[in-house]
Structure 1
Amino acid sequence: MKFITKLFAVIQTLIVVGVAFSAQLAYAHGEKAQQPALRMRTVHWFDLELSTAKLDVNEILVVKGRFIPSESWPHHVASIEDGSAFLNIGVPGPSFVRLETRINGTPGIRSTTFKRGERYDFVVTLKARTPGRYHLHPIVNVKDAGPMIGPGLWVEVGGTQADFQNSIKTLLGQELDLETYGFAHSVGWSVAWIALGLLWFGYWLTKIPLIMPRFRRVSALGENADDMITARDRMVALGVLLVTLMLIVGGYIYANERWPITTPLQTGKVDTAVLEREPSPVMVRMDDARYRIPGRSFRIALTVTNHGSSPLSIGEFASGGLRFINAAVQQVKPRDADDLVASDALRVEGGPIQPGKTQQIVIYADDAMWETQRMTTMISSPDAVVAGMLFFFDAKGRRYPVEISGPMIPLFGGY
């Protein structure tokens, strides 16, 4: 007996350690779980920033950024234009309270529709609620498609949970604590329905024979199920039905008397304003895209036309939340060890593009992130289409983002 007890304790310990270890591995970068086609061809995120990376409970955190729904949105994924979409912030548990969302200046309190190829600037205001270290992600939830997860940012919240305050003032001037408001009513109604359910279930448990013997008698012996229901059973069922209806009607009347002024749940949609497109001097066509599996290298051939008056250079290629930087054009340092930025992993052949010229450009995005971030499974995609954002810079440092997309060919040897 002692041996069995010790063995059980060891098994429990191993299970706890295993769960803790797996949770640690999954602590960051939840976007890894999404298919490369979703990460590369749904929403392009860029210019993400936090007002601060460290704050205390009750302090404000502002998340800013931009995103562009891809022109190459997969056909098998519900469209961001046809259904309902909602911008949110993904973080483990109720760690923050969302106070306000603005998308191109429009309040983001309701569902909306985003147009492919348009840029959306967003500002989300959060209030820290629970101490801890969190990996925060911007998310666009799309009806019938699910969440489109953006790159993660680390946030550390200090302080004490007990100090958190989340109170509001109603139109009638009443002060409410949203952390506890309505909790007693929720508990009371839950207890009432559970008690009624247990009463109903308990009555049938007292019947002889019980449920399974009755089922066997009906199915195997061919007895009439209705003959097993007695007059007393019908009276009890009628009594439970009447109690149920009384609770429903009584609760409705009580709620109307207790809270005569209410705000209905907001189920409408809002039209998000579209920003006026800034004139861009660059036109890009993807001619060829190849991913070399052994070297974890992405090669893209482009035809670029510069209609501007200043030479243009490619400073960054971003795809699926990964950023590949051309260090000769711009300097970008990762925020931390988990920031998906390769500071000097973009090699450009054929640039810069002179004004009024059309040039053939080849870029190489070489880094282990393709594999460590599980993007290599794009080679098994049914349509083998990839997409990403190129960021061009002119001589004055002005930036011009352009989306590129097209079919990709996997290579198992050299280019």
Structure 2
Amino acid sequence: MLLIKKEQIQQILRKRNKTFSSVEKTVSKIISDVERNGDNAVKRWTHKLDKISVNKIQVSDDEILLSLKKILPQDKTVINEAIKRITKYHKKQHISSFTMQEDGLSIKFRTKPVDRAGLYIPAGSAPLISTTLMTSIPAKVANVGEIIACSPPTYKGSIHPYIIGCLSMLGIKKIFKIGGSQAIAAMAFGTESVPKVNVIAGPGNIYVNAAKKLVSGIVGIDILAGPSELVVMADNSVNIDFVSADLNAQAEHKYSVVFFLCTDNNIGNKVSKKVKNGYWMKISNLEDGIKIINDIAPEHLQIICKNARSIAEKCVAGAIFIGNYTPCAIGDYIAGPSHTLPTGSTAAFDSGLSVFDFIRTYAIMEANSTFFKKNGIISERLAEIENLFKHRDSLKIRRL
């Protein structure tokens, strides 16, 4: 690990953000092409970027059945256990409807799932089962009307059977062999094969995130979940072997960045020798560390020090892990919350993927003449202040 000073942190983060913006021009071109030319554009960009020729974009029923058979029995058991744990947590995420009554006015607050959600499952050197579950289950628990999924065809010209199989185990049968910006564009605008969705969710590389950013507003998106980030803050209570393993685990992700903040130079030096990539820094005290953490607003934060629980309440991060026995990796798999989390300092204002990303809320109002006799003049005067006199008249006619 490289020893750095506090003022270098923002420089490191700005470099990542600059790289992100540099691809938007290319991504915008892909999105426009898919919007105009549908499946043909999707296939053309898949061939150009992934060097793969796709004849039929949608995974067939036969391929889904075959994929399910390829999942080893012991792996099915593990996957089902993970599904139970993640589902249990997300079922606790609930927004209650309510009705508010007053003389002459009824207001009903209502929640409904979106009609259709599109999930993006990245491809890797191995099947990203955890991402498949962490992205799909919140949508399932939200009772979305229809869920579709896209994933790059990087496994023998198709999607890895474990990803297809996992999606099928969750009842998701519309699966498409496309990735990158073209997949996001296809779900945002719809093509001959891919239905248009209301919300797109799931992590991806720099091109996927740029595409999600550009189609936001045309469809809803969850968050811009990009390359992984981890900050660890520790005092002399830290287990050096544990924390070194944790930092190396996150550094395993491509383009990830990890920071180790510690109050003890000896610990910092020992950890830095065990971790090849990333940055470390000596902090004068834990309060100083909290300020640095909140400036970074990282995706993942591990706090391994005294009074960690109270410190966690002061910190800004996508997910927080407390103590020597709560590695970031536990959140990647079975703790329960989705591991699709805000990156690039967006944890300062955004949240991890949840049931709420697939829910829309609205109000139903019903008034009668009693309300206008009592409150009409208030609304009328507000309209007058804004010089919206026809608004005033619309209100006033009901009072007189």
Please classify the TM superposition score into its range, dividing by the shorter chain length: under 0.3
- TM-score, normalised to structure 2, is 0.22
Tell which has more relative contact order, 1 or 2 (C-alpha 8 A, sep 6+).
Answer: 2
Larger radius of gyration: 1
Which is strand-richer, 1 or 2?
1
Which is helix-richer, 1 or 2?
2
- TM-score, normalised to structure 1, is 0.22
